[in-house]
């Protein structure tokens, strides 16, 4: 039987959990990088073939940096009931929100490290990637939680939502900087669409109600399909007051990942991210389910796009930003919900690009800078980490894990975000090839109070590898 594309090449799963200390570093790690880079992705157990890429069990890969050293690498499955075969739907048809694959993202908020997948509750992890258990915010989270929450850099609040194919389709939540849910409200008027991401600005929440919608005839395990009859809309809702949405009709297209949203000097809401048209979406979906005639890579034809929504006039204007195929956009999270000049993304091979690259877009100048990875090398999402004392938006570092099929190896690259074309500042050799994954985060020691103390006894200069679960 031919293997599914999401289980081969860059996506070939690893078969165990392991730990290595004292990693080799080429170049110089900025000594201010004290924390952990964690990255999530789908990694089914040996012998398991999920029906959809997104149904593979979650595995976190982590690298611990401190004082200019790479102290350890470890990888761990997120140990949820789904990992042991418990289905999402019970015999009574009721969803089990704890039966999560927990495979999409990993974040930190209020000292908790959370592995996320949008159909389920988040799962809390220790700084050493052991699974603590499902986290429901003290019982106040009554729905699933998006894998793409947004932290307001001014308030420390975490904004997130739960969505589903049946009413109520959308519930909005806000957790304060201490991790307590302080707002929970059903958003009326949303439909049964695949709402993977959203945006916030200083005054608004931005909802994506686009034409990939619930369809019970889709049997891949992710029951959504493109609909030509569904009216695509983007909603703008005030962050304060009742959850009343102003909907803007837009051209048919799908936005999986928001780069950022903000209000311009005229009070208009500007939203950016890679947009799929129907052809691009359906080719991409074929890869995700392993259908005949699938594309050679998991993202096809998504190009940078900008929507400008005017609450005063009710009009929406949209325009392309670039013609590169890109995905997994990121920004300096200090500008989340505010004007951003720069964004970063993974660029996929296409008509004018022969190999994978990291791309930096200067949206003010209308320019881009490519960082090609080389033959057989695929980077992951580039996570931005601000430099110590930074005053400019792009003063910082990009962290990305590269899968190298030629060498059967992986590295963590640390790139100067202000001048990415100059090459990596540091390359951390990882003890195994890390499969290409989804999303990750930099978790500074100051954001995970238990972090530095929890592994302080590790001899960072000793090189050892331990097989099996730790």
Q: Which residues are annotated as a binding site for Fe cation?
A: 148, 196, 257, 439
Residue 129 CA to residue 64 CA, distance in Å, equals: 11
Contact present, 111 and 447 (Cβ < 8 Å) = yes
Q: Choose among 385, 340, 348: nearest CA to 370.
A: 348
Region for residue 139 given its phi and psi (left: phi exceeds 0; alpha: psi -120 to 50; beta: otherwise): left
Residue 77 CA to residue 220 CA, distance in Å, equals: 23
408-412, long-range: CB within 8 Å, 24+ apart, which pairs? 408/433, 409/433, 410/434, 412/37, 412/63, 412/70
Q: With b meaning 16 or more CB within 10 Å and e meaning fewer, what string describes 394-423?
A: bebbbbbbbbbeeeebbbbbbbbbbebeee
**Residues tagged in the binding site annotation:** 148, 196, 257, 439
Q: Which residues, in sequence order, are CB contacts of 42 under 8 Å at separation 6+?
A: 6, 11, 13, 50, 53, 54, 55, 56, 57, 58, 59, 101, 103, 437, 438
What are the DSSP E strand ranges found in 269-365?
269-276, 303-310, 315-330, 342-347, 357-362
First to last CA, the chain: 34
Q: What is the dihedral of CA 317, 322, 323, 328, to 10 degrees?
A: -100
CA angle 389, 394, 399 (to 5 degrees): 90
């Amino acid at each position: 039987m031919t293997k599914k594309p999401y289980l081969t090449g860059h996506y070939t799963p690893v078969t165990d959990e392991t730990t290595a200390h004292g990693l080799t570093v080429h170049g110089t790690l900025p000594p201010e990088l004290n924390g952990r880079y964690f990255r999530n992705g789908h990694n089914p157990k040996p012998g398991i073939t999920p029906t959809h890429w997104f149904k593979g069990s979650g595995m976190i890969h982590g690298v611990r940096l401190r004082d200019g050293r790479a102290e350890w690498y470890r990888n761990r499955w997120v140990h949820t009931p789904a990992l042991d075969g418990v289905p999402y739907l019970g015999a009574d048809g009721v969803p089990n929100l704890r039966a999560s694959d927990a495979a999409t993202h990993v974040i930190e908020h209020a000292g908790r490290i959370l592995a996320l997948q949008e159909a389920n509750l988040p799962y809390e992890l220790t700084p050493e990637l052991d699974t603590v258990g499902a986290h429901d915010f003290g019982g106040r989270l009554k729905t699933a939680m998006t894998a793409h929450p947004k932290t307001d850099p001014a308030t420390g609040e975490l904004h997130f939502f739960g969505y589903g194919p049946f009413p109520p389709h959308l519930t909005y939540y806000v957790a304060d900087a201490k991790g307590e849910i302080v707002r929970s409200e059903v958003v009326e008027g949303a439909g049964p669409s695949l709402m993977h991401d959203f945006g916030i600005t200083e005054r608004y929440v931005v909802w994506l109600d686009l034409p990939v919608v619930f369809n019970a005839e889709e049997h891949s395990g992710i029951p959504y399909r493109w609909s030509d009859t569904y009216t695509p809309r983007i909603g703008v809702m005030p962050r304060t007051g009742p959850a009343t949405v102003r909907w803007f009709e837009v051209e048919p297209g799908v936005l999986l990942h928001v780069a950022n949203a903000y209000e311009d000097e005229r009070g208009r809401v500007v939203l950016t991210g890679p947009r799929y048209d129907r052809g691009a979406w359906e080719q991409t979906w074929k890869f995700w389910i392993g259908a005949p005639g699938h594309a050679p890579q998991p993202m096809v034809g998504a190009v940078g796009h900008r929507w400008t929504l005017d609450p005063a006039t009710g009009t929406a204007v949209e325009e392309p930003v670039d013609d590169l195929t890109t995905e997994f956009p990121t920004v300096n999270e200090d500008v989340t919900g505010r004007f951003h000049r720069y964004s970063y993304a993974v660029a996929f091979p296409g008509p004018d690009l022969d190999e994978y690259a990291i791309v930096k877009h200067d949206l003010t100048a209308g320019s881009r800078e490519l960082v090609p990875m080389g033959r057989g090398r695929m980077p992951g999402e580039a996570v931005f980490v601000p430099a110590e004392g930074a005053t400019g938006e792009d003063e910082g570092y990009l962290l990305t894990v590269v899968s190298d099929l030629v060498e059967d190896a992986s590295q963590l690259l640390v790139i100067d975000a202000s001048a990415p074309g100059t090459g990596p500042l540091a390359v951390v050799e990882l003890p195994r090839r890390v499969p290409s994954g989804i999303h990750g985060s930099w978790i500074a020691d100051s954001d995970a109070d238990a972090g530095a103390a929890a592994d302080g006894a590790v001899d960072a200069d000793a090189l050892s590898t331990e097989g099996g679960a730790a």
